[in-house]
Amino acid sequence: MSNSREKYSNNFKSAQRGFSLLELMLVVVILTVIVAIVVRGAIQLQRKSSTETAKVDLTQEARQFMDQVVKDLHHTGFPNVRMFDAATSAANPNSYAVGLVSVTSNSIQFEGDVDGSGTVCEIFVQLNPPAGPCPCTLRRGSLSKAVYAGG
């Protein structure tokens, strides 16, 4: 009986020598395919994330720009000429704002104390036409009324 056990255990040991080269290559190929699929998915996810981040940044910049323009428009015409003595206001026209100065199809110009400093500024909002295909450029600039009137 012990002899048959030894014979059986020897046959069992010889059957478990390891993996064949074909089995090993098959596993490597399968793992390579799986890793390639995962890497491709990660790259696509990174590209989509970059695109979405750029969209969010542009939206936030546009929102900040519009908030600034709305704030400026709320301050248009302040301080008004009626807030000053008639003799004083005629002597120094740079101390009061006239409000809306000009409007064209691609620009708007107005006056007001937009920063709360007491200095009246000329505010310019202009749409610059593109040199090529859109996007167009919308610009805002400000200059104190005294500097603007001086030259």
Residue 14: its pLDDT value, please? 57
**Among 149, 90, 140, residue whose Cα is nearest residue 119:** 149
Look-up of token digits 């000429």? 81
pTM of the model: 0.62
Query: Using CA atoms, how far apart are residues 75 and 115, in angstroms rounded to an integer?
Result: 9
Residue 51: its pLDDT value, please? 94
List the domain boundaries for the chain: 75-150
**Which DSSP string corresponds to 60-108?**
HHHHHHHHHHHHHHHTBT-S-GGGS-HHHHHH-GGGS--SEEEE-SSEE
Averages of pLDDT over runs of 10 residues in the chain (151 residues) are 60 68 95 98 96 94 92 88 75 83 92 88 88 79 88 64
By DSSP bridging, strand 107-112 and strand 121-128 are antiparallel
Edge-to-edge strand order for the sheet containing 121-128?
Answer: 100-103, 107-112, 121-128, 137-144
Residue 137: its pLDDT value, please? 84
